[in-house]
Amino acid sequence: MKRLRVPEWKTLLALGYGGPQNMYQLAKAYDLKYPMVHRAIKNLEEIRWVEVVDVKLSEKNMPTKIYSLTKEGLLWLLSRIPKTVHPSLVDFSENDSAGLRRTMEEKDISRLENLESQNDVYLHLLFNFDVDRIADKNLQLFPLVFGNWPFYKKIGVAQDIAYEFPETAFSTMVEYYGGHEALMDKLGTIDMLFTYKLYYNFLEAAAKSYPDATTEFKEEIQQKTTRTFKSHAQLEELFHEISKQIEKRLTESLAFIREARTTS
């Protein structure tokens, strides 16, 4: 994966939080310098993580390009959300994280204009990454995920689904660029590949937590899962396909364990 500089990070985040915008809007809304935005946009265009989606007339009646994240750009952004390092480690570590703690004490890293280093970006992603704004402003990129986001928040599964974003986004890009022919031939597009893998991971996590849950919590897991997949006709179709694949894997795993037990 390409290592982005801070200006590219800030531009990706600004487009993620604000949706399609022109360069002047990006610079003004997030107190960014226009030359920085211009260079960052050009660099991100070259790797196809942002693209021109419209051309509109400005207040001075000049044609102005409107930029948006591409599906690949948003996946890269989602794949970078820190997940393996718990935020408490920044607060309580006495060695490597001391500099991170000082940064948090000295500046407001929730504001994009204050992100000046890779560590600032890391802390923003760890503590301030706003999935709700991403979902609201990028509905067109992953409609079967973000189109249901208000409903997912209402029934209490949005956080569970968001937890799967980093690994799912990363593995989607690996499979997409690596040419996972069977799955891509079946699903057709990168957004459907991401959608399939995301709901697969969500359902598999629910299935794994179910056996150890209390009776009350088991009912909650069932209700939330059912409501999630019944929220859209296309998701119901995905559910039947995903559930068959998970059942097949679990059956094979159980057969392996039984065989190992009988031969031990």
Tokens standing for 40?
A: 């960052």
Give the E-state strand segments of 191-246 in sequence order: none
pLDDT at 263: 85
Domains delineated in the chain: 6-69 (1.10.10.10), 82-128 (no CATH), 133-260 (no CATH)
Contact 168, 196 (CB under 8 A): no
Contact 144, 232 (CB under 8 A): yes
For residue 229, give the nearest of 199, 261, 192, 185 by alpha carbon: 199
Q: How many CB atoms lie within 10 A of CB 86?
A: 11
Contact 65, 4 (CB under 8 A): no
Q: How large is the C-alpha radius of gyration of the chain?
A: 21
| Contacts with 45 (C-beta within 8 Å, 6 or more apart), sequence order | 51
CA dist 230 to 38, 124, 144, Å?
A: 43, 34, 12
Q: How many CB atoms lie within 10 A of CB 202?
A: 21
pLDDT per residue rounded down to tens, the chain (264 residues) = 457 888 999 999 999 999 999 999 999 888 788 999 999 999 999 999 999 999 998 788 889 999 999 999 999 999 887 654 444 444 444 445 667 777 777 889 899 989 988 888 888 988 899 999 999 999 999 999 999 999 999 999 999 999 999 999 999 988 888 766 666 667 778 999 999 999 999 999 999 899 888 888 899 999 999 999 998 899 999 999 999 999 998 899 989 999 898 887
For residue 164, give the nearest of 244, 257, 242 by alpha carbon: 242
Contact 93, 86 (CB under 8 A): no
pLDDT at 83: 56
Contact 184, 175 (CB under 8 A): yes
